[in-house]
Amino acid sequence: MEGWLAEAHLPSLLAALAYRTGELGVLEGRFGPKTGFKALRTEPPGGVDPEVRADAVAAASDLIRRLGELPEPVHSDERLRAIMEFLTGLLEADYLPLLKHELALPEDAGHPGWTLSELAPGRKFTAVVIGAGMSGLAAAHRLRQAGVPVTVFERRPDLGGVWHDNDYPGARLDTSNFNYSYSFSQHGEWEDQFSPRDAVLDYLRGLAEDFGLREAIRFDETVTEGRYDEKSGLWSLVVMNSATGARTVVDANVLISAVGQLNEPYYPEIPGLGSFSGPVWHTARWRHDVPIDGLRLGVIGTGASAFQVIPPLAKAAAHLSVFQRTPAWVLPTPGYNLPLDPGFRHLLSTTPYYYRFYRFTQFWRNVEGLREFAVVDPAWEHPVSVSEANEAVRAVLEESLRTAFADRPDLVEKLLPAYPPYAKRSVRDDGTWAEALQRDNVDVITDSIERVTPDGIVVAGETIALDAIVLGTGFRASEFLASLSLTGLDGQTLEEYWGGDARAKYGSTIPGFPNLFCLYGPNTNVNTNGSVVLFVELALEYAMSCVGELLRRDAKAMVLREEVFEEFYERLDEAAKGLAVGHSTVNSWYRNRFGRVSQNWPLSTMEFWRGTRGPGNDYDYL
């Protein structure tokens, strides 16, 4: 037992034991987690200071030994509040419901809480979900909980969305899998903190099995267009079968788009790219038929995908040329590529509630915990940071970069970002990336790419001879729903309404498009706070509460009022300017071609939570 406890995250473990036993005396302040950026990144082993570690282990050990004697917990908000205070250091009363939601204690708080037959007995009412990735599976689950007949159309042959597509070497999560999993489907069986791609797919497959979702999914079926019919109040959808090309029309009262944001590869417009004589492929369309061994390989891009794929490619290729346009800030993440310690895993799978509280501590760090580091201080004058707090983060990251490349000052010059942290997505490294870039067979090229010739890539007038090129150039992230054509009220298409500048209330609803709800839509990405999965869950709960209201009113449809929408976006756009992401002009998929922050949620997580609790008075009912 003591051996296993040496690998535990003690604050989370003590919280779990306190919840299980009611013995709140173990929640001593000295055993609580550390806060602040530096502490978050370099947490002491076990999550507590070394001088109190033995006491914390003894307290945990004592409770674990007595578990069998102590009665099962009777949930009380008071007990949970005390634990929250211990874990977060603060507790504003209105946080408690969000925290309970994340713990799913005492129950799944995102359950719709209504059924079609209760609200509209006998009404014929159906939903269509487009996409069977992370968001679409959750949508199907919630609709089924509400007894709404649902069909999910998925253009791929299997579920998983981006996790189906991205099978490049080294693909894994860069958000802890505890947070990249649903509150209503959490577990303690993870082998890693940042799961490899196959483990994420297994999670999604397991979720589909557990909730019986596969029977609702029609694979190899692409929704190509949809038109809202004002008379019937139905969405009429054209669905194409990938194998036969046959088209059918399907009607639905509610249309949920779960098509994703990061799934349409971006192929850069580099002169001559098409003339290259060897193979060229995108990270999200991996060419498993091309053996890398012995090749002179070029990788364009140094975003999250390139960061993961470059280390294994560097080992296999004869020579690797990394073409970097903008360096990423690197978050030092010890153990990023390693499995969790066996003792940690043992306790996680055997100690009641431990995985829930561990997931919660991961969540908390990234909720409002880091936001302050991204907020712009207008009085702060510094070429590369936006506030004193942001500068503190920058300094920590610069120091860690200098340490990782201590023997290669030439690389430090190339890899040190000249923009504030949080202006662009950061990446993670446990030394694997640093080791790869310092190999003898790897070059980092920062001169601009001039053109591609049949033989290679030309920079600074010189051709770098290559056998193959990998495009780690990302996705057409801001072109939301570009894969299909949707026509709403008065024959207006979504493409016309947005004009390339996609916006939706809570990423979900759009004036002129009744009964259309998007998940992982505009402005629902995380910058520093929360997890995308949390935002998907909350937007879905918003959609479900809207649908519930529609049924309660026995209305055909509901449509967001234009003035509400404009007011909402005035606030959002103003808030974005006050964050590093809106302030900086660095290249980033967080902003669209108009320079507007179209991907990130710029307010607090609490504001997203509050706003997504229901439709309020924001809709007209038709």
Residue numbers at the binding site for ligand NAP (CB under 6 A)? 172-175, 262, 268, 270, 300-306, 308, 323, 325-326, 425, 449, 472-475, 587, 589
Calpha distance 42→65 (Å, rounded): 31
In whole angstroms, how close is the CB of 588 to ligand NAP at the nearest point?
Answer: 7
Q: Which residues pair with 225 in a beta bridge?
A: 238, 485
In whole angstroms, how close is the CB of 133 to ligand NAP at the nearest point?
Answer: 13
Return the residue matching tokens 């014929």: 124
Smaller CB separation from ligand NAP, 145 or 584: 584
In whole angstroms, how close is the CB of 593 to ligand NAP at the nearest point?
Answer: 13
Calpha distance 357→363 (Å, rounded): 9
Smaller CB separation from ligand NAP, 304 or 558: 304
Helix axes 77-88, 354-366, angle to 10 degrees: 50
Smaller CB separation from ligand NAP, 588 or 612: 588
In whole angstroms, how close is the CB of 366 to ligand NAP at the nearest point?
Answer: 14
Q: Mention every residue, 6+ apart, whose C-beta is less than 8 A from residue 531.
A: 175, 179, 180, 363, 366
The secondary structure of residue 216, as a DSSP letter, is G
In whole angstroms, how close is the CB of 490 to ligand NAP at the nearest point?
Answer: 36
Q: Mention every residue, 6+ apart, whose C-beta is less than 8 A from residue 594.
A: 500, 501
Smaller CB separation from ligand NAP, 256 or 423: 423
Smaller CB separation from ligand NAP, 211 or 475: 475
Report CA 592 to chain centroid distance, whole Å.
18
In whole angstroms, how close is the CB of 451 to ligand NAP at the nearest point?
Answer: 11
In whole angstroms, how close is the CB of 418 to ligand NAP at the nearest point?
Answer: 12
Strands of 234-241's sheet in order across:
247-252, 234-241, 221-229, 485-487
Calpha distance 392→376 (Å, rounded): 13
Smaller CB separation from ligand NAP, 47 or 298: 298
Q: Say if residue 34 is exposed, middle or buried (CB neighbours under 10 Å; 0-12, 13-18, 19+).
A: middle
Smaller CB separation from ligand NAP, 179 or 351: 179
In whole angstroms, how close is the CB of 550 to ligand NAP at the nearest point?
Answer: 33
In whole angstroms, how close is the CB of 436 to ligand NAP at the nearest point?
Answer: 15
Q: Say if residue 168 is exposed, middle or buried (CB neighbours under 10 Å; 0-12, 13-18, 19+).
A: buried
CA dihedral in degrees (554, 560, 562, 568; nearest 10)? 140
Smaller CB separation from ligand NAP, 46 or 303: 303
Smaller CB separation from ligand NAP, 331 or 558: 331
In whole angstroms, how close is the CB of 310 to ligand NAP at the nearest point?
Answer: 11
In whole angstroms, how close is the CB of 462 to ligand NAP at the nearest point?
Answer: 17
**Two tokens, residue 442:** 């790897």
Smaller CB separation from ligand NAP, 174 or 225: 174
Q: Do residues 11 and 5 make contact, with C-beta atoms less than 8 angstroms apart?
A: no
Q: Mention every residue, 6+ apart, whose C-beta is less than 8 A from residue 186.
A: 104, 178, 355, 356, 359
**Phi, psi values for residue 277, rounded to 5°:** -80, -20
Smaller CB separation from ligand NAP, 345 or 425: 425
Smaller CB separation from ligand NAP, 160 or 472: 472
In whole angstroms, how close is the CB of 386 to ligand NAP at the nearest point?
Answer: 19
Calpha distance 219→241 (Å, rounded): 9
Q: Select the residue whose beta carbon is closest to ligand NAP and give its number.
A: 303
Smaller CB separation from ligand NAP, 97 or 268: 268
Calpha distance 450→418 (Å, rounded): 22
Calpha distance 196→200 (Å, rounded): 7
Q: Say if residue 453 is exposed, middle or buried (CB neighbours under 10 Å; 0-12, 13-18, 19+).
A: middle
In whole angstroms, how close is the CB of 461 to ligand NAP at the nearest point?
Answer: 17
Q: Mention every residue, 6+ apart, whose C-beta is less than 8 A from residue 468.
A: 278, 279, 280, 281, 290, 292, 295, 296, 297, 298
